[in-house]
Structure 1
Amino acid sequence: MEDSKEKLEQQITVSGKHFSEEKFWAKLARYAKKAGSSVVYAVLLLYYTLQKPNVPKKVKATIIGALGYFILPIDLIPDFLVGIGYTDDLGALGIALFQVAMYIDDDIKSKARTKLAEWFGNKVDTTDIDKKIN
């Protein structure tokens, strides 16, 4: 398991070059429903944290790597595999969320929930992820 986590962290670091705002929003618009609300909420938390001016560059690099991994069409578990395709994406996003949690404030969560509601409606439960980053 530890070896798998290390591989995922290495992949996150390499994946940063794949991040762009255009690719990010295009992937979200196309795959939000398939990825599921947990993955999308994690992605949005990272994205909105990236936009904060007071977040250190090293933290932003972690976020860009995780978002780049999400955008990357080829990853450890192909996204098109029904039921498990976004498992590795959620793992990568979870690692990044844990590392940047101290920069995720109520404003970030509110923005992420508002955007999340556009795809999934207002009844999405974000409690599990919120507990992990508090």
Structure 2
Amino acid sequence: MSPFFRRRRQRQAAEIAGTPETPAQLRDYADQYSETRFWTKLSHVFKRAGYELVEKALWLHYAAQRPDTPQWARATAYGALAYFIMPFDAVPDWLFGIGLTDDLGALTLAVATISQYVDEQVKRQASARLAAWFGPQARHGRPSTDPNAGPDDTL
């Protein structure tokens, strides 16, 4: 595909998708969520995405699965996660250095909105998964030295 058509397609995708700026806009994406696509996307981008983005994605995933999380909070969480897994969004994920910034923004907005449902149990579940992927010291800037560690190791 020529660069002209690629840029045109990216502009069209950005116009269609846009970046959600409110919790209500996040909820509009909820019906696009797929748990299989979520884990697939994480397995492909977790190292490039970094600890903070993956942590927020896992918090939302586990908080949405709690039985006491109300429907509006689940819709907000699944909306942000759906935006994360969408192949086309406001900033293409493959752009080095900035590709996942819009996804991080959507996840951060959702975490702030449903923070009362991101309790210690949710954080423990996420921490266990994060330690398996990034290593136990990753939070402190020392990633795992195991080159074979990855999301598929704990699925």
Shorter-chain TM-score tier: 0.7 to 0.9
Q: Judging changes above 3 Å, is the alpha-carbon distance between structure 1 residues 8 and 102 closer, same or farther for their aligned structure 2 residues?
A: closer
Identity of paired residues, percent?
Answer: 41
Of 24, 39, 46, 2:38 maps to 24
SS in 2 for 1:28: helix
Q: C-alpha separation between the residues in 2 aligned to 1:86 and 1:122?
A: 24
Q: Judging changes above 3 Å, is the alpha-carbon distance between structure 1 residues 31 and 58 closer, same or farther for their aligned structure 2 residues?
A: same
Report the counterpart of residue 117 of structure 1 in structure 2. Answer: 131
Report the counterpart of residue 102 of structure 2 in structure 1. Answer: 88
Q: C-alpha separation between the residues in 2 aligned to 1:81 and 1:48?
A: 28
Q: C-alpha separation between the residues in 1 aligned to 2:68 and 2:23?
A: 24
When the two structures are superposed, what TM-score results if normalisation uses the length of structure 2? 0.73
Number of residue pairs aligned between Structure 1 and Structure 2: 123
Q: Which residues of structure 2 form unaligned runs of 5+?
A: 1-17, 141-155
Q: Which moved further from structure 2: 4-13 or 90-99?
A: 4-13
**Amino acid in the other structure paired with 1:45:** W
The Cα shift of 1:16 comes to 1.7
Report the counterpart of residue 28 of structure 2 in structure 1. Answer: 14
List aligned pairs for 1:96-115, cutoff 5 A.
96-115=110-129
Q: Which residues of structure 1 form unaligned runs of 5+?
A: 127-134
The Cα shift of 1:29 comes to 1.0
Report the counterpart of residue 48 of structure 2 in structure 1. Answer: 34
> Structure 1 segments of 4 or more deviating over 4 A?
4-11
Is residue 16–residue 61 contact of structure 1 (8 Å, CA) maintained in 2?
yes
The Cα shift of 1:13 comes to 3.1
Structure index of larger Rg: 2
